[in-house]
Structure formats: C-alpha cells, structure tokens
Amino acid sequence: MTLAGKRVLLIIAGGIAAYKALELIRLLRGAGCAVTPVLTRAGAEFVTPLAVQTLAENTVYQNLFSLTDEAEIGHIQLSRAADLVVVAPATAHILARMAAGLADDLATTLLLATDKNVLVAPAMNVRMWQHPATVANLAALAARGVHIVGPDEGEMACHEFGPGRLAEPHAIFDAIAALLAHGGPLAGQHAIVTSGPTQEPIDPVRYIANRSSGRQGHAIAAALAALGARVTLVAGPVALADPPGVTVCHVETAREMRDAVFAALPATIAVCAAAVADWRVTHAAQEKMKKTAAAPPILELTANPDILAELAAAGPARPRLVVGFAAETEHLAAHATAKRARKGCDWIVANDVSPATGIMGGAENAVLLITAAGTETWPRMTKDAVARKLAARIATHFAEGA
Ligand code: C5P
C-alpha cells in the first residue's frame, strides 16, 4: 500500500510502548508517508530523539518554547501541515489532557490547534484503562470525533493481563491508512460488511449465539476502508473496538442485522462475514424463565432471514459484488462451491473451522477463494493479511471494470 504524498504528525507520549512507535514510523516511511515526530517530555524518557529522528528522516519536535522549533515552524503551522495527527502511544495522562482541552506542552498545544483528524492509540495499565476517569475521557474524545485504535488485550510490561496494550504497529498503520485513504483504488465505492455473531434471545437474560469473534469481518471492513471505500460495518455483539474510519452499526439479532444491512443500501460491495444464527426462538419469553417450572422448557425455533441470499437476489438494489463466507468442518471446497451456487453470491471465502485449526476466534485463517473462475487456495496467514488480500482482490476486480 502506498501513502506517498501523505503527511502524518506523530505524537509519541511517555509509556513503555513508545518503542513500538519506532516500528510504526518504519511502516509509514516504507509506504512513502512523511512523518513529523513530536516527543513529549515523558516520551523522550522511553525512546531517544535520535532514534525517532533517524527513522522518521525528519526533525523531531519536543519543546513548545524552543526558539529553534518556533523559528523553523510555528506550532499552528506544524499542526495544520499534517493530513492526520496520530498519538501513539496515547497514555492515560495525554488522553486526560486532550479531554480537558489543556495546552501545557507542545503535543497538547498541537492537538488543541489542529483542524485535522486525530487518531489515538491508547496504551496503559489495565486498571488505568478501566478507571472511570479514563473511560469518561475516551467517551468525550470519541464524541468529539477523535478516532481510536486498540488497545489490545494481553500481558503487559507490568505482568498484569487485560486490555491496555498498545495496538500492534501494523494495526495502527492500517487505521492511519484508512483515515488517509481518500483517493485510494476503492474511492467512490460503498461497502457493507457484516461481522461477528448474532444473539437470539430466549428470554431477557439468555440467548443463543456462536463462537464467532468478528475478527475477520472487522479486519475486512478496515482493509476496504484503507483502500478508500466508504464502509458500513454491521456488527453483532463482539469484544472488538470499532475500526477507525468506518461507520459502525451495532446489532444483536439476525433480524436487526438484516434491517441494518438493507437500510445501508445502496452499496457496490457486500461482504457477509457474520456468523448469523440460523434460527431464533419463535416466542422468546418476556420475563426470565424460572427453573422451578415442572419440566425443562422445549425451545421452538424459526429460521432467520438469510441476509447473504437476500442481498444476492436483491434485483436492482443488488451490490455489484456480493461475497459470502463458508465456515465448514469437512469437504471444504465442495461444500463452499455448492454454497456459492445456492446463495447466488459472486465469491465465497471458505474456511475450515474444525476445532483443531484454531481458526474460530483465533488470529489466523486459511481460506479458499471460490469465484466463477474456480478455486484458489491461500496460504495460512493472519486474519488481517487475509482481509488485506481480499480487499486488494476486490480493488483489482473493480479496476478490471466489474
Ligand atoms: O448458510 P451458511 O450460514 O453456511 O452461510 C454462510 C454465509 O451466509 C456467510 O457469508 C454468512 O454471513 C451468510 N449468512 C447470512 N444470513 C444468514 C446465514 C448466513 O448472511 N441467516
């Protein structure tokens, strides 16, 4: 992917994850993006200005009152000269200062002065991330239109476990690319992507669902946006952050997902990656069912709408390219090829979800792409890589005049 001609102002705040900002700079420079780095005072305790400057191939700005910096370029100009302002890592402290509108150093002054999109990649200890003050600050920033990528969940430098780890540099890169993508190969296209499971209520507290994590669908939404498409992501209940640069519609049931998808039309691309529940409980109880009842309940089920098949048969409203998924545990190619015909979609991305593959809920995927021309076998790769490859294939398909 190229970001040639794009300019990112990268603010590196103080946190152990600051070292990952160096990899992010490398990725941005590799894509041809100009990077103007700003180090906060605490940021400079974790990475050296020399390392940042060398990788960015650009002056590193640190001090609001530095005569040298101000002689070269004023802070207003610095904040306006970028196409996007990125804060990575964004500590609890800088998020709090942003939320409060403080301008007590160069970084926060630039953030207050900018008229450009701002993307933050939070990184902090799990307790700081979950503190009501941080939660409120994030909500205030999101309401103001600040884009957020991550944090990830995992083991932290402090050996605690949970959400708060800086998103991986390539994920931050993808979020940046999505926000800078106007003019990409899918510019002018509208893509609807479904992702995650659906939850079908049994009563107000119980539901039927499945093990889908939404990782593949969310990654596809991000990858299509990164190529310039306008993307509407219709997401079932997942534990994932909304991808930046994507319009997200949160739903619970298959019927809500269907309605949200059809409300988002017209679209030129539809990718149905959601694991939609095939059935719902015909008469969900209005009150919580009591286990004191004489016998265990027998649930009567009704078929849910098939969103993929309905989209593929939508007549003039049909997106030009309709892509479905086939999750199978045996005879993958044969079942998926039959599914392509049955559903009336153009492409099927087929994957083997047998428990031994670790694909369902995992970070990797091994897929077959089934088109009118036949079956392609893609090597096992991360779900992000599958998403990028699929988005690139879709871009080529449209470039060829589909
Ligand atoms: O029929 P099956 O569930 O195996 O088909 C999977 C494909 O159909 C996926 O693309 C899934 O998103 C889509 N689907 C749907 N609505 C349903 C069931 C499946 O869009 N009710």
Tens-digit pLDDT profile for residues 5-53: 899 999 999 989 999 999 999 999 999 999 999 999 999 999 999 999 9
Indicate the range of 185-194, 317-326, 351-360 predicted with least confidence. Answer: 351-360
Q: How many Å apart are CA 328 and CA 311, to the nearest integer?
A: 22
Q: Looking at residue 72, what is its pLDDT?
A: 52
Single out the residue in 180, 215, 240 at which a domain terminates.
180
Q: Is 9:78 a contact under the CB 8 Å cutoff?
A: yes
Q: Which atom of ligand 1 is nearest to the CA of 348?
A: 10
Co-location of 245 and 326 in the same domain: yes
The verdict on residue 143 lying in a domain is yes
Cβ atoms within 10 Å of 387's Cβ, excluding its own = 27
- Greater pLDDT, 122 or 70: 122
- Helix ranges (H only) for 74-147 are 75-80, 92-100, 106-113, 126-130, 132-143
Co-location of 146 and 278 in the same domain: no
Estimate to the nearest angstrom the gap between the alpha carbon of 62 and the chain centroid: 31
Instruction: Determine the structural domain holding residue 19 and report its residue range.
Output: 7-180
Q: Looking at residue 67, what is its pLDDT?
A: 46
Estimate to the nearest angstrom the gap between the alpha carbon of 292 and the chain centroid: 44
Q: Is 43:63 a contact under the CB 8 Å cutoff?
A: no
Which pair of tokens denotes residue 190?
């509208």
Co-location of 108 and 239 in the same domain: no
Q: Looking at residue 68, what is its pLDDT?
A: 55
The verdict on residue 1 lying in a domain is no
Q: What is the average per-residue pLDDT within 131-159?
A: 88
pLDDT at 83 over 50: yes
Which helix (H) or strand (E) segment holds residue 341: the answer is helix 332-343
The verdict on residue 185 lying in a domain is no
The verdict on residue 155 lying in a domain is yes
Span 221-244, pLDDT tens digits: 999 998 889 999 999 999 998 887
- Give ligand 1 pocket residues (Cβ under 6 A): 194, 254, 272-274, 276, 278, 304-308, 324-326, 339
Q: What percent of the chain has pLDDT over 90?
A: 74
Co-location of 84 and 147 in the same domain: yes
Span 164-176, pLDDT tens digits: 999 999 999 988 9
Number of H helices, E strands in the chain: 15, 21
Single out the residue in 126, 152, 180 at which a domain terminates.
180
Q: CA nearest 183: which of 225, 240, 153, 231?
A: 225
Q: How many Å apart are CA 96 and CA 339, to the nearest integer?
A: 50
CATH number at 279 reads 3.40.50.10300
pLDDT at 152 over 50: yes
Co-location of 132 and 210 in the same domain: no
Q: How far is the CA of 162 from the centre of ligand 1 (A)?
A: 32
Co-location of 298 and 355 in the same domain: yes
Co-location of 165 and 314 in the same domain: no
Q: How many Å apart are CA 199 and CA 280, to the nearest integer?
A: 9
Cα–Cα distances in angstroms (integers) from residue 24 to residues 8, 312, 339, in the given order: 11, 40, 40
Co-location of 287 and 319 in the same domain: yes
Co-location of 120 and 40 in the same domain: yes
The backbone torsions φ and ψ at residue 100, rounded to the nearest 5 degrees and listed phi first, read: -85, -10
Domain count along the chain: 2
CATH number at 58 reads 3.40.50.1950
Q: Is 139:98 a contact under the CB 8 Å cutoff?
A: no
pLDDT at 151 over 90: yes
Identify which of 218, 307, 337 to mutate to test ligand 1's pocket (most ligand atoms within 8 A of the CB). 307
Which residue, chain included where needed, has tokens 């993808």? 174
Co-location of 56 and 124 in the same domain: yes
Q: Return the exposure string of 33-51: e unless at least 16 CB atoms fall within 10 Å of the residue's CB, then b.
A: bbbbbbbbebbbebbebee
Q: What is the average per-residue pLDDT within 131-153?
A: 91
Co-location of 215 and 291 in the same domain: yes
Q: How far is the CA of 312 from the centre of ligand 1 (A)?
A: 12
Kindly tell me the sign of the dihedral angle through the C-alpha atoms of 13, 17, 21, 22: positive
Catalytic residues: 158
Co-location of 174 and 199 in the same domain: no
Q: Looking at residue 267, what is its pLDDT?
A: 97
Q: How many Å apart are CA 12 and CA 148, to the nearest integer?
A: 15
Single out the residue in 160, 180, 200 at which a domain terminates.
180
pLDDT at 69 over 60: no
Identify which of 234, 272, 348, 351 to mutate to test ligand 1's pocket (most ligand atoms within 8 A of the CB). 272
Q: What contacts 372, CB < 8 A, 6 or more positions away?
A: 346
The verdict on residue 276 lying in a domain is yes
Label residue 163 by pLDDT band (50, 70, 90). confident
Span 242-254, pLDDT tens digits: 887 888 999 999 9
Q: Looking at residue 24, what is its pLDDT?
A: 98
Q: Looking at residue 180, what is its pLDDT?
A: 87
Q: Looking at residue 354, what is its pLDDT?
A: 80
Q: What is the average per-residue pLDDT within 145-162?
A: 83
The verdict on residue 66 lying in a domain is yes
Q: Which atom of ligand 1 is nearest to the CA of 305?
A: 21
The verdict on residue 2 lying in a domain is no
Which residue, chain included where needed, has tokens 């005879």? 331
The verdict on residue 316 lying in a domain is yes
Whole-number average pLDDT of the chain: 91
292 burial (CB, 10 Å; 0-12 / 13-18 / 19+) is: exposed
Q: CA nearest 194: which of 279, 308, 280?
A: 308
